[in-house]
């Protein structure tokens, strides 16, 4: 009888000890909140990628064309005072033509981007931020055609700001 009491007491102590450790481990577990991420529709993701590319293009041309614009205007002023040789003048006119052509190509790319935002229903809510970039690109081109190369940089800066604003509201 004594051994049965001893055995029961031992089992009871083991049971209590087991409950203690089990209770401790259960209390320390925390349930992790599930994070649900939503993926933007394919049209929106594609349009965002195109907007990023155009933003990078505009930023590149702002940096690249700025010094070229200053040089073209300075040479125009210099050549107005002193007539250069025909070959020098032809080279200068070719550089001016290439400058305008670059802005024309950029305008075409921006027009396609703006058209995507205008025609696709999934992009309508982002369109207002992008509205007018084609007109700004046309203004830059017109200024360059008029020989105001440095001034043609300002519409590009405005385009860059509009693209930045658009990208800020679009999901990744």
CATH of residue 163's domain is: 1.20.120
Residue 24: predicted pLDDT: 52
In a domain, 102, yes or no: yes
Query: Where would I find the H helices in the chain?
Result: 2-28, 42-81, 86-119, 124-130, 133-145, 153-169
Contact 162, 58 (CB under 8 A): no
Total tally of structural domains belonging to the chain: 1
Euclidean distance between CA atoms 123 and 131, whole angstroms? 12
> Taking the model in full, what pTM does it have?
0.73
In a domain, 131, yes or no: yes
**pLDDT higher at 151 or 23:** 151
Residue 56: predicted pLDDT: 97
């Amino acid at each position: 009888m004594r051994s049965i009491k001893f055995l029961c007491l031992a089992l009871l102590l083991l049971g209590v000890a087991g409950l203690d450790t089990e209770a401790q481990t259960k209390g320390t577990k925390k349930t992790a909140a599930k994070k649900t991420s939503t993926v933007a529709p394919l049209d929106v993701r594609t349009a965002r990628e195109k907007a990023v590319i155009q933003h990078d293009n505009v930023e590149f041309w702002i940096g690249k064309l700025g010094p070229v614009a200053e040089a073209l205007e300075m040479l125009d002023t210099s050549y107005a005072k002193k007539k250069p040789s025909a070959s020098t003048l032809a080279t200068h006119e070719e550089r001016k033509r290439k400058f305008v052509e670059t802005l024309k190509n950029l305008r075409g790319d921006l027009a396609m981007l703006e058209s995507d935002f205008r025609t696709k229903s999934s992009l309508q809510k982002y369109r207002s931020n992008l509205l007018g970039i084609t007109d700004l690109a046309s203004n830059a081109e017109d200024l360059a055609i008029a020989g105001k190369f440095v001034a043609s940089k300002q519409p590009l800066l405005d385009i860059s700001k509009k693209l930045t604003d658009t990208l800020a509201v679009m999901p990744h």
